[in-house]
A = this chain, B = another copy of it.
C-alpha cells in the first residue's frame, strides 16, 4: 500500500473549478456577505471536491486574523491546567481556532515571551494562574495589542477579560462550615505565594475565624506550595505541635491529600480524629479515601467563559477599553473527610 502525497488544493484551484474569482471564494470561507447562493453552492462543492481548506499561514499573513489562540501556562501539568486546556481546546475546535500552548516558567520569562509574541500573531491569549498576575507578561501583552483573558487573576485589569471565583468568600464559607461542625482548632495550610488566590483563601480563613470569635493562631497557619509534598510537610509540622488541630483546611486538594497520607501513616483516623478539607475539587479529591470535602471551582466553565468573552461574536470591547468580567459561583462539595464534633 502506497500513499500518494496529496498536495493541498489552493484557493485559486477552487476558484477555477467553480468559475469565479479567488476573492469570491475567500468571501465564502470568511462568511462575508454579498455572495449569491448559487455561487456559494458551486464554490462549496468545488472546495469539497478538491478537499480544500484555507491555509492558516496564508490567512495569517494576508489578513487580520490568524485563527490562533495562545494558552500560556506556568506548568503544563496538574488537574487545574488540564481542565483549562480541555475546555479551551473544545472551545477552539468549535470556533475554528487552533491552540498554541506556550510555557512561561518563572516570573517574567520575558525573553521567551517576546520571542513568542513577535513570531506569532495571536488572535487572543488565555493566561492561567499564576502568570495571569505577572505584570511583565501583562504589559508585554498590552504592548503587543493582543486581546487577553485571565483565568483566576488576583489583581484587576480592566482592559482584559477576567474570569474568577471569589476565593475569599469561598474560603470564608468553608471555614465557617468547619466551625459549624464544632471545630475550633482549625489549621490552615497556605498556598503557593506566587498564586494570587493564596492570599485570598488565607484571608477568608482568618476572617471567618475572627468573625466567629475564634482566636487566630499563627502556629496553626503553615506554609505550603500547592503540592502533595508540601501538604505532607505541612502536616508533619502541624502534627509536631503540642495540641493537634481537629481540622485542617488545606488551600488546595493536593495538599489536603498529602495531609491525608501522613495521617494514615501515623494511624490518625480521618475524619473521626482529624477532619481535612481542601479547595478546587481537583481530581485527587475523589480518588483518595475518605473523599475530600472541598470547594468546587468550575474551572471548565470558567475557561469556556473566558474564551467566549475573548473570541466570541460580540468581540466585546476587548480591543479598546473595558473587557468582560465574570465571577463564577463556587460550591462546597461535602464528602467524607469532615467529622461533626457536635453530633
Give the interface of A toward B (CB within 8 A). 3-6, 8, 51-58, 60-61, 66, 68, 75-79, 81-83, 85-86, 89-90, 93, 98-103, 112, 114-116, 118-121, 139, 142-145, 228, 254, 257, 260-261, 264-265, 284, 286-291
Q: Which residues of B contact A6 (CB under 8 A)?
A: 143-144
Q: Which residues of B contact A98 (CB under 8 A)?
A: 100, 102, 116, 119-120
Cα-based distance from A339 to B73 in the complex (angstroms) = 41
Do B143 and A5 touch across chains, with their CB atoms under 8 A apart?
A: yes
Do A55 and B144 touch across chains, with their CB atoms under 8 A apart?
A: no
A159 to chain B, nearest CB (A): 9
User: A120-B98, A287-B257 in contact; A66/B57 too (CB < 8 A)?
Assistant: yes
**Which residue of the partner chain B has the closest CB to A289?**
B264
Q: Which residues of B contact A58 (CB under 8 A)?
A: 57, 61
Do A286 and B112 touch across chains, with their CB atoms under 8 A apart?
A: no
A287 to chain B, nearest CB (A): 5
Which residue from B51, B56, B118, B228 sits with its C-beta under 8 Å from A53? B118
Do B93 and A112 touch across chains, with their CB atoms under 8 A apart?
A: yes
Which residue from B86, B145, B254 sits with its C-beta under 8 Å from A76? B86
Do A85 and B93 touch across chains, with their CB atoms under 8 A apart?
A: no
Q: Which 5 A-B pairs have the closest CB atoms?
A: A53-B118, A57-B60, A77-B82, A3-B142, A264-B289
12 new A-B contacts, CB < 8 A, other than A76-B82, A93-B102, are: A5-B145, A6-B143, A8-B144, A53-B119, A55-B121, A56-B60, A57-B120, A57-B121, A99-B100, A99-B102, A254-B287, A288-B289
Which residue from B3, B66, B257 sits with its C-beta under 8 Å from A139? B3
Do B118 and A103 touch across chains, with their CB atoms under 8 A apart?
A: no
User: A77-B85, A265-B289 in contact; A118/B284 too (CB < 8 A)?
Assistant: no
Q: Which residues of B contact A78 (CB under 8 A)?
A: 82
**Which residue of the partner chain B has the closest CB to A3?**
B142
User: A6-B143, A86-B77, A139-B3 in contact; A288/B286 too (CB < 8 A)?
Assistant: no
A64 to chain B, nearest CB (A): 12
Q: Which residues of B contact A54 (CB under 8 A)?
A: 119
A250 to chain B, nearest CB (A): 13
A55 to chain B, nearest CB (A): 6
Do A51 and B142 touch across chains, with their CB atoms under 8 A apart?
A: no
Which residue from B112, B119, B260 sits with its C-beta under 8 Å from A289? B260
User: A6-B143, A228-B287 in contact; A76/B85 too (CB < 8 A)?
Assistant: yes
Q: Which residues of B contact A93 (CB under 8 A)?
A: 102-103, 112
